[in-house]
Structure 1
């Protein structure tokens, strides 16, 4: 059944902290959690949590901070300019490996990473010697590419891999500058909608239960505002369930700035109902990162993953 969602929210302004003239804590202190994101459908539970802050008190707020690239987002997260982010989990793992104290508390989604190729590509072998785009080397999309090639007994080097900003991928495919791409939604659906190419594989066909985007928070924020963190994550989890149970939201289309038909197709490929980061799925990701040389020492599950907030144990 097709699902039509209109996603987009007007950002709330962050509130300044209130303190007494003696700089003593106040029970009415304004508390704001700043969360970074890129405008993709993989971050939909975050949009819901921002638009439906039912769990929050009047003095508690969620501020979404939009970024144009993963590099800029990670710089803000690593330096503490934001408290958390919806981000490629591999980038957060790498930051943790380098000493940034982050915790991944929930997934952003499951599935929804299509391999989109030109009309002249009908099977993986047709990509040999051709150019395939991914958003970042440290991404599940890069691992999915390797999985696809391995399934056809091809080496990673059989194709020319390039990094491209996701919004450029559909036009690059249409213009023949690349022969295919693997990326977060809605850019796969956009390529199909524009007749730039077709889906060769969906991610679940190559890597069932693959991990991609995750909600990551700084440990210093979790320690300073544990109750606010719990309320926010509770709303976030409610968002995942609500997005699965309802087919339409009367919200602003300009949030993602895409055609409604593209969004409809995009959301047919994604699920949001189970946002728990399971240990076996994470351990498979760790192993693949080591095999591909994407990390020398990816963080252990118990050091990086904190499921207690989804379980309501904080």
Structure 2
């Protein structure tokens, strides 16, 4: 009887400990706050400052009609594979990669920008002009990127040919180390990777993107059209909150830093510098900006027939955002 009593006490202790732990977890883990029964919207991203509005939208949690899940990827090809196959509903992605997917028959629409500006030409401290880059390695994140077009335009405007430098594709996170070690003479890429080299005095700014190509388009918020059509109310609410998150991101205050740092492991001084170069308060994709991008893609021979503005850009959601 005494043994049975001890077993009963032990069983009750295990029960109460299990209950207490689960209760504590539900109060601190955001995943457990997901509303069962609501549609979960999955949006892909890479941990860069160009996706800050997404981070803030997730952290603010002001959406009511859906659950938001941000899905982190380590590379653009991985993200595009998930987007193209429908494993995610949308993404903050290089606009040119999404345009290429659209050209290949993937039913996507660009509904907003991820940011404006924030693509800086960072070079070694021994480089003082575009001419100094001749014959040297220069890193870009992807052949199909606005960064590659920026490199082409920068060289052209400084009397050089694209072939005068050795453009190499490199994961953004590797670029600061490659510059520091002398493996490349410079790079142009999404933030915060440019600011990393500058903040530790291993590189300097040769040009800002607006010096070369004013109002260039880089990362965009892209959604699958099956999601937009089947979940139109949710898509609208998602974009509503995204626009508000962009306005909050533009404050670039301590709250913005705190929320962003949960998705990017970066020092505060680096993030401060990144925020100086980038803006988030005007995220509508304008037709004239998009057409200039199309023309540049054709001029470089990267795409024969980039999708037209009317085929690829859906501005109806951001026009209705409130």
Is the structural similarity TM-score above 0.5? yes
Question: Given the two structures, how large is their TM-score scaled by the length of structure 2?
Answer: 0.87
- Shift in CA distance, 123/14, structure 1 to aligned 2, threshold 3 Å: farther
Identify which of 171, 194, 206 aligns with 1:165: 171
Identify which of 233, 238, 242 aligns with 1:227: 233
The structure carrying a bigger helix percent of its residues is 2
Query: Is 2:117 aligned against 1:111?
Result: yes
Using the alignment, how far apart are the partners of 1:168 and 1:14 within structure 2? 35
- Corresponding residue for residue 107 of structure 2: 101
- Which one has more relative contact order, counting CA pairs under 8 Å at least 6 apart? 1
Query: Is 2:294 aligned against 1:286?
Result: yes
- Shift in CA distance, 62/105, structure 1 to aligned 2, threshold 3 Å: same
The total of aligned residue pairs comes to: 293
Using the alignment, how far apart are the partners of 1:269 and 1:182 within structure 2? 13
Aligned CA RMSD, in angstroms, stands at 1.9
- Corresponding residue for residue 190 of structure 2: 184
- Corresponding residue for residue 36 of structure 1: 44
8 Å CA contact 1:12, 1:62 repeated in 2: no
Shifted more, 238-247 versus 63-72: the winner is 238-247
Question: Given the two structures, how large is their TM-score scaled by the length of structure 1?
Answer: 0.90
Structure 1 runs (4+) deviating above 3 angstroms are 10-18
- Corresponding residue for residue 285 of structure 2: 277
Alignment of 1:238-249 (within 5 A): 238-245=244-251, 247-249=253-255
Identify which of 64, 72, 83 aligns with 2:78: 72
Identify which of 53, 65, 72 aligns with 2:61: 53
Q: 1:255: how far off?
A: 2.1
Q: 1:30: how far off?
A: 1.7
Query: Is 2:208 aligned against 1:211?
Result: no
Q: 1:124: how far off?
A: 0.4
Identify which of 300, 303, 306 aligns with 2:311: 303
Gaps of 5+ in 1: 1-9, 19-28
- Does the residue aligned with 1:189 lie in a helix, a strand or coil? helix
Using the alignment, how far apart are the partners of 2:242 and 2:32 within structure 1? 18
8 Å CA contact 1:110, 1:211 repeated in 2: yes
Please say which structure displays the higher CA radius of gyration.
2
Using the alignment, how far apart are the partners of 2:306 and 2:120 within structure 1? 26
CA deviation string 1:157-198 (max 9, x = no partner): 000000000010000000000000000000000011122110
- Shift in CA distance, 157/81, structure 1 to aligned 2, threshold 3 Å: same
Alignment of 1:85-96 (within 5 A): 85-96=91-102
8 Å CA contact 1:115, 1:180 repeated in 2: yes
Q: 1:263: how far off?
A: 0.5
Shifted more, 218-227 versus 247-256: the winner is 247-256
- Corresponding residue for residue 22 of structure 1: none
Gaps of 5+ in 2: 1-27
- Shift in CA distance, 91/179, structure 1 to aligned 2, threshold 3 Å: same
